[in-house]
Amino acid sequence: MSHGSDFYDLASLIVAHDAPHAFEAVVPPIVQTSLFTFSSYEEMVATYRGEKARPVYTRGLNPTVRFFEEMLAKLEGAEDALGFASGMAAISASVLSFVGPGDRIVAVRHVYPDAFRLFGTLLKRLQIEVTYVDGRDEAAVDKAMAGAKLLYLESPTSWVMEAHDVGALAAVARRHGALSVIDNSWASPIFQNPLSLGVDLVLHSASKYLGGHSDVVSGVVAGSKALIDRLRAEAYPYLGGKMSPFDAWLLIRGLRTLPLRMAAHQASALEIATRLKALDVVETVCHPGLANQLPPGLNGTSGLFSFIFKPGVDIRAFANHLKLFKLGVSWGGHESLIVPGEVVLEQKAQPNSAHTFGISERSVRLHVGLEGTEALWADLTSAIEVATTPL
């Protein structure tokens, strides 16, 4: 599906997808139930024999979760999708469905830190090896892919926003007979549809833009029916990281405004990034929209980026003086957030803590929310003033 830049068109598409609901409710009622009963022995046995498809138990199939999955599949141009209890459940199920002991994965460097930790702990114990490459270097990816089973992508990455030519990397994976998987949380389906670029599976932390209101933790994977069926057969029921009906219901609401929210995040973040870049106290701004052009297939930019202060700025004072920007991890909601790089680098207790994900001590990650560009800019500049005034 091609979205172009007509956000209103896409919004109407999302609304038009709704079938009539019980009581003609405008919103699909939440089916908050663990099990579904059968009206007769015959119906039950027909269902168990696979002659009749209907919900039995919510860990397998729940109508509210299914409704969200169908909306998301449509947005990503996928044949099917599966909802998970978190982005990490989506990542672990996607990877574990396709690799086993002795297999090797190639991943772009700076992947989401908990994906990196999954690879370095559980996968390592299962004798699955992961090789990291700079995804901007297609030749390096090609070289690393020899004999590998899966290419794990994330573009742009979520701290230094390294953006890749996703279509070219998917083609490399295909040439090597390997499966490609991408974490598309940053761009959302509004700005990037990796399946149309040749990637096999696309996943999201739905806790970010898909939900959009910072009240849900969940994840989703989309792709061909054959690949999603493979996830549905083992990892989904037996690892059991199933999306809850209530979370799906909140996500259905979130998706209805996704195109409008993404347009607002894009405009505000790009303006703030441009202004930050012009400041004397800022060394670099890591925002894909400031480059001459976006990589092929990335059709817009979201609200998450980072920048690096020049030496001498008091980042603690900067953080403490912000009022609209709250100190907090995650992103994708209505609210603006910051994470100081020097705080993240204190996270020593984690496995593989030597890896920095591209985070530098003088960097600050911003999520630009929906409060309005001028109010956010005023908040930033007054905090920068305090942080750069010698006492």
Residues facing 304 on adjacent strands: 367
**Chain position whose Cβ is nearest to ligand PLP:** 87
Catalytic: 59? yes
Strands 150-154 vs 304-309: parallel, antiparallel or unpaired: unpaired
Strand order across the beta sheet in which 129-133 lies: 80-84, 219-223, 201-205, 179-183, 150-154, 104-108, 129-133
Catalytic: 348? no
* Min CB(164)–ligand PLP separation in Å: 14
Judged by beta carbon, residue 207 or residue 384, the one nearer ligand PLP is 207
Judged by beta carbon, residue 148 or residue 339, the one nearer ligand PLP is 339
CB neighbour class for 127 (10 Å; exposed up to 12, middle 13-18, buried from 19)? exposed
Judged by beta carbon, residue 186 or residue 309, the one nearer ligand PLP is 186
* Min CB(282)–ligand PLP separation in Å: 24
CA neighbor of 281 nearest in space, from 238, 317, 227, 245: 317
* Min CB(382)–ligand PLP separation in Å: 28
Q: 173 with 163: CB under 8 angstroms?
A: no
From the list 208, 232, 242, 362, the catalytic residue is 208
* Min CB(81)–ligand PLP separation in Å: 15
* Min CB(290)–ligand PLP separation in Å: 20
* Min CB(55)–ligand PLP separation in Å: 25
Q: What separation in angstroms does the CA of 229 have from each of 31, 226, 232, 242?
A: 23, 5, 5, 15
From the list 80, 142, 183, 247, the catalytic residue is 183
Judged by beta carbon, residue 194 or residue 219, the one nearer ligand PLP is 219
Judged by beta carbon, residue 219 or residue 259, the one nearer ligand PLP is 219
> Nearest 5°: CA angle at 290, between 286 and 294?
100
Q: Which is it for the CA torsion 23, 27, 28, 31, positive or negative?
A: negative
Judged by beta carbon, residue 85 or residue 178, the one nearer ligand PLP is 85
* Min CB(347)–ligand PLP separation in Å: 15
* Min CB(194)–ligand PLP separation in Å: 13
Residues of the shown chain interacting with ligand PLP in the complex, contacts defined by CB under 6 A: 86-88, 112, 158, 183, 185, 205, 207-208, 217, 219
Strands 129-133 vs 104-108: parallel, antiparallel or unpaired: parallel
Rounded Cα distance between 323 and 376, Å, is 9
Number of Cβ atoms within 10 Å of the Cβ of 284: 17
Judged by beta carbon, residue 58 or residue 205, the one nearer ligand PLP is 205
Judged by beta carbon, residue 81 or residue 282, the one nearer ligand PLP is 81
Residue listed under structure tokens 């990542």: 91
Query: What is the set of active-site residues?
Result: 59, 112, 183, 208
